[in-house]
Amino acid sequence: MSNTQSFFDDIRAYHDEEIPAVVERIAADPLLIPAAQFVFPNLDIEQVRTLIRSCSTSDDIQRKIMYPAIGGIIHQTMRRFTSSGSDRVPATNGWLFVSNHRDITLDAMLMQYALFENGLPTTDISLGDNLLHTPLVFELCKANYMIKVIRKDDVTMREFLENSRHLSEYIRYRIKDNGRSVWIAQRNGRTKDGIDITEPGILKMFSMSGSEDFVESFSQLHLAPVAISYQYEPCDVLKAVELCRRQSGAPYHKAENEDFLSILTGIKAYKGDANLTFCEPITTAEIEQVAQLPRAEQCKALAEIMDRRIISEYKLYDTNYLAYDILHNTRRFEKYYSAAAEQKFSLHLVRSNAQFELMGVDKDAAREILLGIYANPVEAKLNLGIVL
């Protein structure tokens, strides 16, 4: 193993020579039983264990386990999953896919599925270490090209900056030296309010490993925005409850295993239709134009270009138009939804209301937040002057 590779041992995924021991740990984990029952309903647990133990590389795990597992999730929890734009990201180099972030694990999983379906290499996946406390999740992720991201809340500012530089160096190493692509969210954590915004700080983190030349630094990374949308947002009720509690002024503390509960809820909940679009990659000409700005404005301007791509390509569903019309007491977008869709969404709101009551939050405030999750993507397009 090279010194460069070992330098990243704290955040890298498992190497292939480590996989045989890993699959034994995965097969022996008690949580595998309920997980396998959901994603492989036609196999008994011993068949699943045999399938897992047949994997000797990460690519084996992706091909034999993850690809059919994600297909099973799509089949059980979605009416339809569509993707487009894969021709924009040919396998001629590694890409840095920067995606809007709606679900803890599904966003990246669906992108891997779309790449696999289109005959393209899968990617490394950046994932916060706060999600890795469950051994089964930890092992599965590290066996699937995960890059561990050490979260800011757990460290001092100095440590955070050091960790950011370390992560940036590894991402650049994987793309530039290994030709691997990397997936990362456009912000720290999921959007809870339906507003997709690329944090300039993420782009500043990318630049920490590059040269002083802004154009060279970002051109090497091959930035490719990704837009993902769900007809029925994963964890919409949990997101609305969290924001409602935060907005009330009361301190918000995550419950034990809250992140794991969100992972399970996001995977298992019905999502209707979902879409993932590979947007047009950021061009060198665009990076050169941004480089003309004062240094303090460059990452913000680059983030705005990425946001326009993501918002433009974000697929709106009937739920988005319905929520907008409900919030604004109008029928402006009624041509985009049927009476049946309206009835179905109304029932979703009634059920959500009951959950708000059980969770002890202000039902009216939480309902408005939930409607905003769906309506804000419409607002975002209107704010950019996009004709709907």
| Superfamily for domain range 3-234+269-315 | Glycerol-3-phosphate (1)-acyltransferase (3.40.1130.10)
Distance, in Å, from the CA atom of 67 to the CA atom of 208, rounded to the nearest integer, reads: 34
Distance, in Å, from the CA atom of 12 to the CA atom of 182, rounded to the nearest integer, reads: 12
pLDDT in tens, the chain (388 residues): 455 568 899 999 999 999 999 999 999 999 899 989 988 999 999 999 999 999 999 999 999 999 999 999 999 999 999 999 999 999 989 999 999 999 989 999 999 999 999 999 999 999 988 778 889 989 999 999 999 998 766 678 888 899 999 999 999 999 999 999 999 999 988 999 999 999 999 999 999 999 999 999 999 999 999 999 999 999 999 999 999 999 987 777 776 667 777 888 889 999 999 999 999 999 999 999 999 999 999 999 999 999 999 999 999 999 999 999 999 999 999 999 999 999 999 999 999 999 999 999 999 999 999 999 999 999 999 999 998 8
Distance, in Å, from the CA atom of 207 to the CA atom of 1, rounded to the nearest integer, reads: 27
Q: Would you call 366 helix, strand, or coil by DSSP?
A: helix
Alpha-carbon dihedral of residues 300, 226, 244, 384, nearest 10 degrees?
60
- The side-by-side arrangement of strands in the sheet containing 123-128 is 78-84, 272-278, 223-230, 96-99, 181-185, 123-128, 146-149
Residues of the chain with CATH 3.40.1130.10: 3-234+269-315
Query: Cα–chain-centroid distance for residue 204?
Result: 20
Task: Write the pLDDT tens digit of every residue in 167-218.
Answer: 999 999 999 999 999 999 999 889 999 999 999 999 999 999 999 999 999 9
Strands 146-149 and 78-84: unpaired
Quick check: 56 and 249 in contact, CB under 8 A? no
Quick check: 278 and 312 in contact, CB under 8 A? no
DSSP H helices in 15-66: 19-28, 32-39, 45-53, 58-60
CB atoms within 10 A of CB 336: 17
Rg of the chain, C-alpha, whole Å: 21
Distance, in Å, from the CA atom of 223 to the CA atom of 306, rounded to the nearest integer, reads: 9
Quick check: 242 and 192 in contact, CB under 8 A? yes
Query: What residues are paired with 227 via a beta bridge?
Result: 277
Q: At what angle do helices 45-53 and 32-39 cross, to 10 degrees?
A: 100
Task: Write the pLDDT tens digit of every residue in 328-381.
Answer: 999 999 999 999 999 999 999 999 999 999 999 999 999 999 999 999 999 999
Q: Would you call 275 helix, strand, or coil by DSSP?
A: strand
> What is the end-to-end Cα distance of the chain in Å, rounded?
53
Q: Would you call 97 helix, strand, or coil by DSSP?
A: strand
Q: Would you call 30 helix, strand, or coil by DSSP?
A: coil
